[in-house]
């Protein structure tokens, strides 16, 4: 009887311990699941006030983890290419980290606000945002715009003019000018007559007329995306960059630029391809001529002929019947009346079966 009572008491005690252990485990699991990170932005907006144009704005935003689990910063994405962000990837509970943003004000004027979006593992605020604000003041500026634009043929020249002015107190001076190449020529002179001055900048301050001439035979063909750099005596903006924009077109175009016959058989006759050579000078289409074409490839002939449209020629390229089988790879030389580019070479390749 005693043994049975002892066994019963032991079983009851064991059951009690099991239930208690299970309850403890459930409580521990619940506590663990309740742990979560929380992102807190100490100063979400940094306002620099008025800054001179061209100044780099750098600021480290403090990020606190006021939660109970590790805060993971997954990314910090700027809203524009002018802002670069560096950040701490892991912030422990109760600790702080930083997200550093950099804003280049060179291309801005007036009020700006540049943001960085922060992605984290905070379940309540997975996306947060910090931003840098400022009012960008140009102490040296160009009128009517900070760029000059050109559309011209290679070999042509065009001149655009701007006025450079300053907000500085000291008498404004241009110390030196650097251009991207000899195909850009800059002349600048102080404006002496009040009638030629613009209503901008500090009253009584020096203003400069700047003439920018672009062109000549060495002008690169393609889009213009260069800068003219002015060194000045401005205290706040010692360097001013005037943008060159636009496009320089070739004097004539050749299409296609490469002739590829692929595999051809000349047993039944000649294989032929056609190249079009067209002037880009719409004002003088009649003046453009293709005089002759030379081939350096045995078995490949080429002949130019005019078309019904002025300034457009067709070059017939042929693999003549009976050409020796094998691979060929050479060039055609096209002779034109163009003074800028009198000749052009076109690669020709293929295989005779």
Distance (Å, rounded) from C-alpha 135 to C-alpha 57? 11
Q: Which pLDDT score, from 0 to 100, does residue 18 have? A: 52
| SS3 assignment, position 261 | strand
Establish whether the linkage from the previous residue to 251 is cis, with ω within 30° of 0. no
Q: Which pLDDT score, from 0 to 100, does residue 53 have? A: 87
Residue 165, both tokens: 């002015």
Q: Which pLDDT score, from 0 to 100, does residue 7 have? A: 43
What DSSP character marks residue 89?
Answer: S
Establish whether the linkage from the previous residue to 236 is cis, with ω within 30° of 0. no
Distance (Å, rounded) from C-alpha 272 to C-alpha 312? 19
Please tell me whether the overall predicted TM-score, pTM, comes out greater than 0.75 for this model. Answer: no
Within 8 A by CB and 6+ apart from 58, the residues are 100, 101, 102
H/E run at residue 9: helix 2-34
38 in Cβ contact with 71 (< 8 Å): yes
Shortest CA distance to 57 belongs to which of 104, 99, 24? Answer: 104
Distance (Å, rounded) from C-alpha 237 to C-alpha 231? 9
| SS3 assignment, position 269 | coil
The 3-class SS string of 166-213 reads ECCCCCCCEEEEECCCCCEEEEEEECCCHHHCCCCCCCCCCCEEEEEE
- Written as tens digits, the pLDDT of the chain (353 aa) is 445 554 455 445 545 545 445 544 455 444 556 899 999 999 999 999 999 888 899 999 999 999 999 999 999 999 877 787 889 999 999 999 999 999 988 888 899 999 999 999 999 999 999 999 999 999 999 999 999 999 999 999 999 999 999 999 999 999 999 999 999 999 999 999 999 999 999 999 999 999 999 999 889 999 999 999 999 999 888 999 999 999 999 999 999 999 999 999 877 678 999 999 999 999 999 999 999 999 999 999 999 999 999 999 999 999 998 888 999 999 999 999 999 999 999 999 999 98
Please, where are the H alpha helices in the chain? 2-34
H/E run at residue 32: helix 2-34
Distance (Å, rounded) from C-alpha 60 to C-alpha 72? 18
Q: What are the chain's domains?
A: 39-137 (2.60.40.10), 140-249 (2.60.40.10), 252-352 (2.60.40.10)
Residue 180, both tokens: 């991207």
Shortest CA distance to 210 belongs to which of 220, 221, 198? Answer: 198
Q: What is the largest CA-CA distance in the chain?
A: 129
Distance (Å, rounded) from C-alpha 125 to C-alpha 129? 10
Residue 213, both tokens: 């001439």
Question: Over the stretch 196-253, which tens digit does the pLDDT of each residue have?
Answer: 999 999 999 999 999 999 999 889 999 999 999 999 999 888 999 999 999 999 999 9
Q: Which pLDDT score, from 0 to 100, does residue 24 have? A: 47
Torsion angle in degrees (nearest 10) through CA of 76, 78, 79, 82: 180
Question: Over the stretch 161-199, which tens digit does the pLDDT of each residue have?
Answer: 999 999 999 999 999 999 999 999 999 999 999 999 999
Strand order in 127-137's β-sheet?
A: 45-52, 127-137, 110-120, 71-78, 90-91
């Amino acid at each position: 009887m005693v043994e049975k009572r002892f066994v019963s008491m032991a079983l009851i005690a064991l059951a009690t311990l099991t239930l208690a252990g299970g309850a403890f485990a459930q409580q521990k699991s619940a506590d663990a699941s309740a742990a979560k990170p929380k992102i807190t932005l100490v100063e979400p907006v940094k306002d620099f006030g008025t800054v001179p144009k061209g100044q780099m704005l750098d600021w480290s935003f403090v990020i606190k983890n006021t939660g109970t689990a590790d805060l993971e910063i997954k990314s910090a994405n700027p809203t524009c290419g002018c802002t670069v962000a560096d950040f701490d990837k892991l912030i422990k509970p109760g600790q702080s980290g930083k997200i550093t943003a950099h804003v280049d004000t060179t291309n801005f004027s007036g009020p700006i606000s540049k943001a960085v979006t922060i992605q984290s593992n905070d379940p309540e605020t997975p996306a947060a945002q910090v931003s840098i604000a400022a009012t960008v003041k140009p102490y040296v500026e160009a009128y009517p715009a900070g760029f000059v634009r050109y559309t011209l043929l290679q070999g042509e020249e065009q001149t655009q003019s701007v006025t450079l002015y300053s907000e500085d107190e000291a008498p404004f001076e241009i110390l030196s000018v650097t251009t991207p190449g000899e195909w850009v020529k800059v002349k600048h002179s102080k404006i002496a007559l009040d009638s030629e001055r613009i209503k901008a900048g500090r009253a009584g301050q020096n203003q400069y007329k700047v003439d920018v001439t672009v062109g000549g035979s060495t002008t690169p063909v393609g889009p213009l995306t260069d800068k003219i750099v002015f060194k000045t005596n401005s205290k706040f903006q010692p360097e001013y960059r005037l943008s060159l924009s636009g496009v320089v077109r070739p004097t004539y175009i050749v299409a296609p630029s490469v002739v590829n016959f692929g595999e051809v058989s000349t047993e039944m006759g000649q294989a032929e391809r056609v190249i079009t050579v067209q002037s880009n000078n719409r004002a003088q289409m009649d003046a453009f001529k293709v005089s002759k074409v030379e081939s350096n490839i045995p078995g490949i002939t080429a002949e130019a002929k005019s078309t019904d449209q002025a300034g457009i020629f067709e070059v017939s390229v042929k693999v003549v019947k009976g050409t020796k089988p094998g691979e060929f790879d050479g060039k055609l030389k096209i002779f034109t009346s163009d003074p800028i580019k009198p000749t052009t070479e076109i690669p020709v390749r293929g295989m005779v079966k």
